[in-house]
Amino acid sequence: MSSKLRNFFIDNAVVILFVVLIAIAIPVSGLPGTFLMQEILTRLGRNTFLVIALLLPIMAGMGLNFGMVLGAMAGQLGLIFITDWNIVGIPGLLLAMIISLPISVFLGWLCGSIMNLAKGREMVTGFILAFFMNGLYMMVVLYAMGSIIPIMNPELLLSRGYGIRNVVGLDGVRQSLDTLIPLKIAGLNIPAFSFLIIAAVSYFIIWFRKTKIGQDMRAAGQDRAVSGAAGIPVEQTRILAIIISTVLAGIGQIIFLQNLGTINTTSSHEQIGMFSIAALLIGGASVTKASIPNVIVGVILFHLLFLVSPMAGKNLIGSGMLGEYFRQFVSYGVIALALVLYEWKRVTQENDSRATLRGGGAPAAKEAKGGAA
């Protein structure tokens, strides 16, 4: 029994650590329960889709897709255009998604192709690729828009006449998904339609795993050489995983931003990769294995900690800055921690499984151990 309990702790080390942290931080922060509940519901609707976008590349053995930022850029371009054209509500969001689609597919194909050249180093490749594409995105948004790409609405442009303003208000589409089906339970606003979309994409992922191409993705994720020898088009399958991930990230970013109601033109997309990945890891996922429950648990835990840590920091130390610092610390630190814990877990399990093989099980072995020391 005790070994079972121990295994449970080892299996869920990351999740347990964060549950404990939050259990301490919530009372210290002094934030009311209803506020937290409402925030979590909102944030679930806002972020879950983005985190789900990470699942397929993990299945395809490509690790955490830091390249999802590329999709977020595509989503933002779509939103900037519909804001300029003043298309509001659900049609506006749909059009933004349609605009983002070819851009996401192209960027995903590019990203996947480059990752195929850097097999085994997909994570850092995606990370750097996101930095590189950020430069191109900035060029498009700050120079091309308003000069080469026509922008009709002068309010969107910087005063110099070209380039998009730092903040773009999305008043036309603000929360139009979340409030499409108005639902209020016990005084809490529930973004029912966003949840339905999340349910649909979750179903898509589950169904996709069962398809032939999903099976190929799993195979390629475990052993590229064997899969290739069996005739599975490994490179093409990997590119497809990244394309789907990028497209989902684009749509996810649109859902994320319609909830917030504004775009930070130059920075909204930057943090999204980091936050989504941190949330997924806190949910108990690893570089090689992730599921939909990991996504949901991760989003809840990550955002709870995100919510309560500034207040907890302020109440403990008396400085709001500390809370802000703590947010940054949490999101970056958590990725490092989850990766380290994942490795520790792997080693522990390996040692555990071999425990009976050590020391021979004979009484003589104990003396022997002493002798060696």
Sites of contact with other proteins (CB under 8 A): 207, 210-213, 215-216, 218-219, 222-223, 225-227, 229-232, 354, 357-362, 364-365, 367-369, 371-372
Cβ distance to other proteins smaller for residue 168 or 242: 242
Contacts made by residues 110-116, CB under 8 angstroms, sequence distance 24+: 110/70, 111/67, 111/70, 111/242, 111/246, 112/238, 112/239, 112/240, 112/241, 112/242, 112/243, 113/239, 115/62, 115/67, 115/238, 115/242, 116/235, 116/238, 116/239
Q: Shortest gap between Cβ of 240 and other proteins (angstroms)?
A: 9
Sign, CA dihedral 164-167-173-178, equals positive
Cβ distance to other proteins smaller for residue 166 or 211: 211
CA dist 268 → 48, 357, 372 (Å)? 16, 53, 58
The residue among 15, 4, 47 whose CA lies nearest residue 307 is 47
Q: Shortest gap between Cβ of 203 and other proteins (angstroms)?
A: 13
CA dist 278 → 21, 295, 297, 298, 328 (Å)? 15, 10, 12, 8, 11
How many angstroms separate the CA atoms of 168 and 79, rounded? 9
Q: Shortest gap between Cβ of 289 and other proteins (angstroms)?
A: 10
Q: Shortest gap between Cβ of 112 and other proteins (angstroms)?
A: 16
Cβ distance to other proteins smaller for residue 227 or 268: 227
Q: Shortest gap between Cβ of 227 and other proteins (angstroms)?
A: 7
Cβ distance to other proteins smaller for residue 108 or 172: 108
Contacts of 46 (CB under 8 A, 6+ apart): 191, 194, 255, 256, 259, 260
Q: Shortest gap between Cβ of 361 and other proteins (angstroms)?
A: 7
Cβ distance to other proteins smaller for residue 46 or 224: 224
Q: Shortest gap between Cβ of 276 and other proteins (angstroms)?
A: 25
Sign, CA dihedral 54-55-58-60, equals negative
Cβ distance to other proteins smaller for residue 219 or 297: 219
Cβ distance to other proteins smaller for residue 184 or 212: 212
Sequence letter at residue 244: I
